[in-house]
Amino acid sequence: MNRFRVLATSLVALAASAAGAEQGFYQYPSARGDVLVFASEGDLWRTGRDGGTATRLTSHVAEESDAHVSPDGTMVAFTASYDSDQDVYVMPVAGGAPRRLTFEGGMLRTVGWTPDGKVIYASRLTGAGQGEILYTVAPSGGEATPIPLWRATDATYGQDGRTIFFSRQGLTARARDNAVLYRGGGMDQLWRWQTGSAAEAAKLLPDFGAPIRFPMAYGGRIYFISDKSGADAVWSVGEDGSGVAKLSPEMPFPVLQASLDRGDVYLQNGADIHVFSTADNSLRKLSIDIVTDREQTRLRSIGDPLSQLEAARISPSGESVAVTARGRVALGAPKHLRRIDFSIPLQARGRQAVAAPKGDRVFMILDQGERGDIYAMPADGSGEPMPVTRGYGAYIWSFALSPDGKTLVLWDKQARLQKVDIATGRVTLLATDDAGDDQPFHDLVFSPDSTHIAYAQVSRRNNANTTEIFVQNLASGARVKATSGKYNDYAPTFAHDGAWLYFLSDRNFDPTPGNPWGDRNMGVAFPDRGEIYALQLDPAAEFRFREDNELTRKPDEKAEDEKPASTGKDEDDKKDEKPKPARIVLAHIVLDGLAARLYKVPVDPGMSEGLLASKDFLYSRKDEKLVSIAIDKSDPKVETFADKVRSAEISADGKTLLVVTGSSKSPKLMLVPAKAKLPEKAEPNVVRLDDWRLTVDPASEWKQMFVDAWRLHRDFAYDPAMRGVDWNAVRARMEPLMQRIGHRAELNTVLGQMASQLGILHSQVRPGDLPKDGENSEMAFLGARYTPVSGGLRIDSIFRSEADLVSTRPPLTRPGVDVRVGDVIRSVDGRPVASLGALRMELASKAGQEVRLDLARGGKAMSTIVEPMTFDGEVTASYHDFVEGRRLAAEGLSGGKIGYLHLRAMGPEDVASFARDYFAQLDKDGLIIDVRNNNGGNIDSLIISMLMRRAWAFWAKPDGTGVPTTNMQNAYRGKVAVLIDERTYSDGETFAAAIKSLGLAPLVGKRTAGAGIWLSDRNRLSDNGAVRVAENAQYAADGTWIVEGRGIGPDYEVENGPHATFEGKDAQLEAAVSLLKQEIARDPVRPLKPGPLPALGTPASDVTPLGPR
């Protein structure tokens, strides 16, 4: 023991204690000898193993985590963002400069130490994103050595120093879910492997039936954390798998980290560190104080609040815009008019603010406490918010104000449309919806005289995929359905005088393609469906788009060639006269028979998203353009008003447009005249918000976000009964933790613990506004694997990709680049590289730039120019290499008769990937569809529909030559097998469930994760973070709740062993190939061969049912 260091530490702690200390939020405990290292406020701290006042070890702006003290107690390894988004570092426990050990830039985590003093970390980057690989690296630096185990996460060494006990799977490894009592396919497992052995690892406690987390070896036993008894507790089992026992009482909170030293198990729990003694089975909470300036809780100035813009609503007069960002509200205007900031209470979040018609007040939703209500504030920014509604009983989506300023109409998550009298706060129900959508009311607008509203409402027809237009009298409550419901009708807007209601309707069906033939034809789409229609609200009103004929033209309306020529008399006198504004006579709205008074506006289809009306123009979206349509019976000209418009809104008086352009991170708002085109010089019309700054009190904002997340979970969770969990009690138990946090990341930890109490997946925490180091270099990569050799780095392998897709090739295989396996990289841009770290450092910040590589090939010097790729590019390239490797393996195992495709997720890019790969393999006798490690999405039905196509007939030449064409077109006739595993997630599981339920193919592999409740991600917090909450449960056709928490089981269970898989074997793929070969041999695909044609006069045959698959 270094007595001087211990004495110095004690003196520092004593001095700090005298200065005044407080409790923090403690995570990642790791003890060795007399020292305990932990994390708090995003930094690492050191104290005694029994607690006391701690000393801060690090002070970087970003978070340090995953602390692990070395076996000799002198070093601490951890994960940090000093030079990249994420890498592994070590530093002395006594303090000092950290040393960087890895150069990967992300997707890794510090795991611990080997008995001989090497750092262990887990990397997903080198596992092609499909799973973790453990590595060891010396604390002095150098090349990392893999531990040859696939999908190993945590690790500990047994008594002999050679047997490694490790975890596989787990919620954190797969998707960072937060769920108690999880029993799905991805439960943490405990495995054992003898280092250096060629034998496969063995699973310990295979029938334990609950997660086994944080394995820790001591005294011939493996200690671990499990909630098998109903909540997390310390358990142990012998190294041979015998004598499993629960040792500790159940902990009050989920255990988020655990470590062991000298028989003491250190547990992160709630905001504290607890110690369980294996000697006497006692449990105690450590008393730890930190002396801190709480730097992360100091007031912050947010310089770009528009990057978090939530809403922008034009004032009725068109003079200003109410903007909402990060829960704060401001009124902005062009030129030099004062921006008005509103004093939103710290415990509240403002939403959907809009100015009143008279300009004297601003209305907004304020979410605070248990409910959200609508409030009003003086428009000059003074005063306090005054409630309009009180204790409203549901989540309010938004609201609209009447032109006379007396009424507002809101719509809520309980599918209600309600009228609110602003003067009294009285709430009157206008409509409800029973189609099952919690947000069924859209595009609500008031008539100019404030007597009626129009809106789109989700219809029960068309499987609730469309909306229909309603018009409602606010005084009587009478409403009529103004459209039939057959088509999707939306975006109603009143004419300037209220005589007409224009709306968009998807009634143009121009199919693309128009037939089932052709390459990769997956079905018909109908682009450009939107057309503009009009409903005659006032039966006496003229349709301003219909050109007059000889019967409808008024006597005083003459054609231009019939009018007498101007004499010029009195013309000069009239020039100086100011035009008098035309008096608008408001219409008489008649609801009876409204649906029958339907007109079509004579413009081409292709309109979408929204529709606005002024006296002289309609405005709508066409592609990325905002277009104007002249309300002109002789020439309804369509012109581009502005290009690349994100959104648009019109003032209540119809004279001004709010046009939003730019990107989501840098939007530009303009208030422009409602004319045919955007003014040539638009800058004077830009709303001045570039100088908007928000002062944020982090501690108050964190508390507000905690309550907001709690409320959003209550309001959005799929089960209104919250699975029987007392949600108020959860808040009461979790909220005191907020007093302890000192960093935004710690809020995420608390939010994750809160969400976990519902025990459901899709419960990840989106990080929000975490402090970052803006000076870090962006890592860059070449897409290869290397070994250090004399004089440089030898290229051992280059990522494979589909040769036909040049854009997906990694840098070293792109056109014009001559680099081969076996070449030695000697220098980058003239600077020598002798290690992987040196290569990565030289490439840093050069992604997409030309870089010169000097190489040696067989004793010959050569050079080439390459463009390195980003971290995301490296991840994608390694994934393509994984897929290409599996495709080649399936081809080799089957002699080219069995095809292979992998679906990484279930989104637009993945349906494109399916189209590329599936149709190119229709001639194969067998096909493997791999959804292992699938991240989910929502396209399962598109793929299932293709697999359900069956060939019941074909076209061919009578002699059988050529390629026959099946009916149904592009139907696959071979055998299919689907690969699944414990990391098949969300829609990947729904796809597997459909395959199984419909009997389309056997499932091969392991039970899936069990993320079966779908969601919308509409519950963002004010800083754009979120705690995801699952909203829509899935049921089988018989009403049985499916998938969630269990997963979909395989028809053929096959384990991919950790050691064999690391060595390149894929037992699941091999099993699928073997199964398909057997099926093909048993029931081969019969060739499509036409039979002989009978003689003239003999008709063709009828058809017979095909029977089951």
Q: Which positions are annotated as active-site residues?
A: 762, 986, 1044
Rounded to 5 degrees, φ, ψ at 899 are: -90, 175
Say how far apart CA 541 and CA 501 lie, in whole Å. Answer: 11
| CB-count exposure of residue 20 (10 Å: 0-12, 13-18, 19+) | exposed
Q: What is the C-alpha to C-alpha distance for residues 393 and 769, in angstroms, rounded to an integer?
A: 30
Structure tokens given for 470: 């309603």
What the block records as the tokens of 394 is 């549901």
Contacts of 1032 (CB under 8 A, 6+ apart): 718, 1013, 1014, 1015
CB 310 within 8 A of CB 351: yes
Contact of 972 with 927, CB cutoff 8 Å? yes
Q: Of the candidates 70, 68, 14, which has an alpha carbon nearest to the alpha carbon of residue 44?
A: 68
Comparing CA positions, the residue from 1047, 927, 1052, 1066 lying closest to residue 992 is 1047
Nearest to 1007, CA basis, from 202, 169, 231, 167: 169
As given in the structure block, the two tokens for residue 756 are 């976990």
All residues at 6 or more sequence positions from 1011 whose CB lies less than 8 Å from its CB, including other chains: 175, 177, 184, 761, 762, 936, 985, 986, 989, 1030, 1043, 1044
| Strand (E) or helix (H) holding 493 | strand 488-494
Q: Confirm if 1060 and 1053 have CB atoms less than 8 A apart.
A: no
- Nearest by Cα to 601 from 533, 535, 549: 533
> 814: which residues sit within 8 A by CB, 6+ positions away?
806, 866, 867
What the block records as the tokens of 490 is: 């939306």
Residues facing 257 on adjacent strands? none
DSSP-derived secondary structure for 303-358: S-GGGGEEEEEE-TTSS-EEEEETTEEEEE-BTTPPPEE----TT-EEEEEEE-TT
Cα–Cα distances in angstroms (integers) from residue 184 to residues 169, 176, 1007, in the given order? 11, 14, 8
Rounded to 5, what percent of the chain is helix, strand, coil?
A: 15, 35, 50
SS3 763: coil
> Distances in Å between the alpha carbon of 875 and those of 14, 224, 595, 879, 960?
48, 32, 55, 6, 47
* Residue 547, both tokens: 């050109």
| Six-digit token string for 92 | 């002395």
Cα separation of the two ends of the chain: 74
Q: What is the largest CA-CA distance in the chain?
A: 114
Q: Are 173 and 132 in contact (CB under 8 A)?
A: yes
- Residue 328 backbone class (left: φ over 0; alpha: ψ -120 to 50; beta: rest): beta
CA 637 → CA 493, 497, 630, distances in Å? 19, 21, 5
Across the strands, what pairs with 642?
626
Two structure tokens written together for 384: 């306090």
